[in-house]
Structure 1
């Protein structure tokens, strides 16, 4: 038999594509090489599944720095609010948390995955798991998918939803890039985004601050001229290898892009007290030191930042624990304040793409029709999800992009396959 639509890949975009195709009443096949579908969904949001984000469309697109503007067209067909309605229609009640993130009320990712699987079943989608694809032969009117088992599958349209190269244990190991190239597509340079960063700075090597998290700090990436490329205010974490945590993950792609230009190491600057200007902080501490002249300076400034960081900075500016506030020179106070406002860490590398949450780069969006997700290079070929050169920050943005592009790809593949 010949299928109308075959979706390769059972992640968020593939599940959406298969459901959207089957809703149009066409013979739909979903194949995945893994034993389970929706693996990435099941681990997203710490196992609670951050389904989408409720922020206004403009804001959502702003949080997708990797070609987010491409999504205006698909969003006009199906957007983040439609995702919410879709899941609530399947009986998955959602709730909103900080920054617009939407989660199932049950806090269980498996409820989201199960709802999608039930819908595939209800729509009569044929699902084949543990079915790796060896190759694709593209034809004029039909395509042939050759499985590793040697079996050949005939289909009118193919939706490639195989993911990128990040989080490979979920099955996204970059298989799809070769199939896209074979169809005449350009793959832009792949790089890790939302990835922890590695530093060889002595204090990191000595694990001085390992395990220390800083709350609501400004983290910036500096260019070669020490100008800020980007700043994010969130939490961050010092680790045994370098830096991690939300602010770092969000800044990481800008660091990696500097590496790609041949700039290494890249300086990251942490402002531990972003609500107070440097001069104001200096004057405030100067006054407090005068008012409490007999006290040890360390006790005057205690609590301004976490204790381990405070002790490390005092050591850097050579102020002992016992030194009285009255004896601190203006020069030392100035240095102390500068470290709190501009704590610099040299980043020498990032963790590999396999450790990243999201793949940067992929199938060039210039070769995709935005309102249908169809290939401009090959009839009956559609792309969706992370195989595309689109990437966002964590917080429901990548899943939104995957589900929206999946929905649009599946719908249009079905329409074309009937044509």
Structure 2
């Protein structure tokens, strides 16, 4: 087997496969190494096995959905963005379809379609695939990368692209190797934390599981700090679970919760079940409805919320079985207060290993935003989740991975050409 290459890509995930393709398209002799037997192992899991390959929002809106250093990606997206990702797959015979919130999926509804396209394209471009191989260390001199050392042999190259992922789903090979490699050449790693992760709570109603399985559509979930100041809010679907809160609204709040938990033991999230209506409007609506009825309050309000959640709220005030027309203005106002601003104490999220995305990573201040090259060691490039960039679910993280991978691959190939 050849031991000398122009570009070596370490990590055969989303960003790694794209980096190897981009480098090969520039004429580089590329080696793609992965510790797994098959490439794209984590990508196969995304979107419930359907692969939410990107999102069709405009770039500025895209970046707003990448709260973890999204602005760092402006230079990347100026070269290759979500529309280019879509064009790439369409040009390789993969038709995409749009679903809610701009999410793009292959019409086959199979992640395998995306992974196969990437691997087949890499092979057609002459990329050498080396699966089931673990890189042990980077090779470098005082100024430049010179290659990598694996568990079996050594490979030489003037440019190496690290795309080893974060620490989520370690079974896919994301075990944090890239952080160790980055540190070996002087990089600093921003503290790691779970993002896009369900929220865990010790609240009695969570522990009793009385709300488990209840889902809400388009509710508002807010995160507030210890001073009661709003940190972030998201209007999306929410699911009560046996351990706390899940669903898109909870997942999007998780990175902010984890950052607050660095300095406080618990974090308050505020649930608004009716974000489209003001408190005053709801009070008026309920008053008109309740004043005319002799039914039990829980029966008269049955259409407003899922039954168990409705009864839970009404029991907080002791009015579930009270005849509707006997409720006082104060009690009606109290019901609306619970519906519009129900506080839930969160004590943690699931750990990184069980979360969707890793927050933190290689410090973006130590990476050239245009090329994704290290400022610490010439010839070393980074892409994907290894970098301290993270977005919400909905195709944003995969987009960042594809695009940083493409940028890193192109510029690694350009730099390697100087050595040919």
Q: Answer whether TM exceeds 0.5 for this pair.
A: yes
Map residues 114-263 of structure 1 onto 2, 5 A cutoff: 114-139=116-141, 140-149=143-152, 151-260=153-262, 262-263=263-264
Moved more, 201-210 or 276-285: 276-285
1:12/1:403 contact within 8 Å kept: yes
Corresponding residue for residue 351 of structure 1: 350
Q: Which one of 14, 17, 24 corresponds to residue 15 of structure 1? A: 17
Deviation at 1:340? Answer: 0.9
1:2/1:156 contact within 8 Å kept: no
Deviation at 1:264? Answer: 2.2
Give me the TM-score of the superposition, normalised by structure 2.
0.97
Q: Which one of 87, 109, 112 corresponds to residue 110 of structure 1? A: 112
Alpha-carbon distance in structure 1 between the residues aligned to 2:213 and 2:299: 24
Deviation at 1:240? Answer: 0.6
Number of positions where the alignment pairs a residue of Structure 1 with one of Structure 2: 415
Alpha-carbon distance in structure 1 between the residues aligned to 2:228 and 2:28: 57
Question: Over aligned residues, Cα RMSD in angstroms?
Answer: 1.1
| Cα deviations by residue, 1:12-51 (Å, 9 ceiling, x for unpaired) | 1000000111111121100000111011211111111111
Alpha-carbon distance in structure 2 between the residues aligned to 1:103 and 1:320: 45
Give me the TM-score of the superposition, normalised by structure 1.
0.97
1:33 matched to 2:35: yes
* Structure 2: gaps of 5 or more residues: none
| Cα deviations by residue, 1:110-162 (Å, 9 ceiling, x for unpaired) | 0111111111110111101110111112124552311123x111111100000
Alpha-carbon distance in structure 1 between the residues aligned to 2:290 and 2:251: 37
Alpha-carbon distance in structure 2 between the residues aligned to 1:195 and 1:359: 10
Map residues 31-70 of structure 1 onto 2, 5 A cutoff: 31-70=33-72
| Cα deviations by residue, 1:315-351 (Å, 9 ceiling, x for unpaired) | 1101142x21222222222221111111111001111
Instruction: State the SS of the aligned residue for 2:167.
Output: coil
Corresponding residue for residue 283 of structure 2: 282
* Structure 1: gaps of 5 or more residues: none
Q: Which runs of 4+ in 1 moved over 3 A?
A: none
Indicate how the Cα distance of structure 1 residues 386 and 281 shifts in structure 2: closer, same or farther if over 3 A, else same: same
Corresponding residue for residue 76 of structure 2: 74
1:273 matched to 2:256: no
Map residues 251-330 of structure 1 onto 2, 5 A cutoff: 251-260=253-262, 262-292=263-293, 294-321=294-321, 323-330=322-329
2:291/2:326 contact within 8 Å kept: no
